Amino acid sequence: MSLAPPPDAGEISAAADRLETAPAAEIVRWALERFPRGRVAVVTGLQAAGVAVIDMAAAVDHAYIEELRRERGWRIEVVVPDPDPIAEFVAEYGLDPFYGSVQRRLDCCHLRKVAPLDEVLTGLDCWLVGLRRNQTAGRARLRPVAVDVAHGGITKVSPVAGWDADAARTHLAARGIPLHPLYGVGYTSIGCAPCTRAVDPGEDERAGRWWWEQGIDKECGIHGRPVPITAAGAD
């Protein structure tokens, strides 16, 4: 049996329109049925919403369950960066240059996060993520299915785009899946240790990410460069 070719922009747009208000599990099912095994993956930094997407993917496609490991059995590939450019970066700028400027912070994020993920995505036709529209101003127009121009035109699926933070936690609680332990000590977003802190009551969900930076979206570059909040939040 021949495999269906990757979708073109027209098919992606039609799918996005049809799935705009669909339940998250239906969006996950569309992605797993549309793309062949081995060409589609869930990518997450272990935020609650991303873990919920993994859970829905496992429920939709029982063949994934064969790849389970230990109790839940999810097959998780840990992506690590190339140590050589990081060693050069540290030698030139020191261990924590990210506190000094946004550009240096983005340089670090590029080496440790963006570049390793780019390499993984070159082998895929589709990736699923736990992005939500209400996380940042720049994510406000997030579609459930989109052409990922930054990664060679593969398909990017955001099944929980319409969820809020509570919906992700409710899903995990109902499924008996533990949250990342940092959620239990005041964190509302999970990131690298030097760049993430717990938030105070009433603070924005992503206020603990790069908390010393003001006036730009809290983005590492994986999902686009951070933009000034005033420009992105115009609508």
Q: Which residues are catalytic?
A: 220
State which of residues 112, 143, 156, 223 lies at the interface with ligand SF4 (CB under 6 A): 112
Write out the binding residues for ligand SF4, residues 194-223 only, by CB under 6 A: 194-195, 220
Residue appearing with tokens 């993917």: 57
Task: Locate all alpha helices (DSSP H) within 114-164, ordered by sequence.
Answer: 115-121
Coil vs helix vs strand at 7: coil
Contact string 124-153 vs ligand SF4 (x = CB under 6 A): ------------------------------
What number of chain residues touch ligand SF4 (CB under 6 A)? 11
State which of residues 29, 34, 113, 171 lies at the interface with ligand SF4 (CB under 6 A): 113
Question: Is beta strand 145-148 parallel, antiparallel or unpaired with respect to 126-128?
Answer: unpaired
Nearer to ligand SF4 by Cβ, of 49 and 195: the residue is 195
Does the protein bind ligand SF4 through residue 191 (CB under 6 A)?
A: yes
State which of residues 16, 27, 108, 126 lies at the interface with ligand SF4 (CB under 6 A): 108
State which of residues 102, 120, 192, 229 lies at the interface with ligand SF4 (CB under 6 A): 192
Query: What's 6's DSSP letter?
Result: P
Q: What is the identity of the amino acid at 33?
A: E
State which of residues 29, 34, 105, 218 lies at the interface with ligand SF4 (CB under 6 A): 105
Does the protein bind ligand SF4 through residue 86 (CB under 6 A)?
A: no
Nearer to ligand SF4 by Cβ, of 117 and 192: the residue is 192
Interatomic CA distance for residues 177 and 163, integer angstroms: 18
Interatomic CA distance for residues 46 and 174, integer angstroms: 18
Nearer to ligand SF4 by Cβ, of 95 and 234: the residue is 95
The stretch near ligand SF4 (CB under 6 A) out of 37-45, 103-111, 125-133, 150-158 is 103-111
Coil vs helix vs strand at 122: coil
Least Å from the CB of residue 143 to ligand SF4:
26
Coil vs helix vs strand at 147: strand
Q: Of 40, 53, 56, which Cα lies nearest the Cα of 121?
A: 40
Coil vs helix vs strand at 136: coil
Task: Locate all alpha helices (DSSP H) within the chain, ordered by sequence.
Answer: 9-19, 24-34, 48-60, 62-65, 83-93, 102-109, 115-121, 165-174, 229-232
Nearer to ligand SF4 by Cβ, of 105 and 139: the residue is 105
Residues forming contacts to ligand SF4 in the complex (CB under 6 A) are 98, 105, 108-109, 112-113, 191-192, 194-195, 220
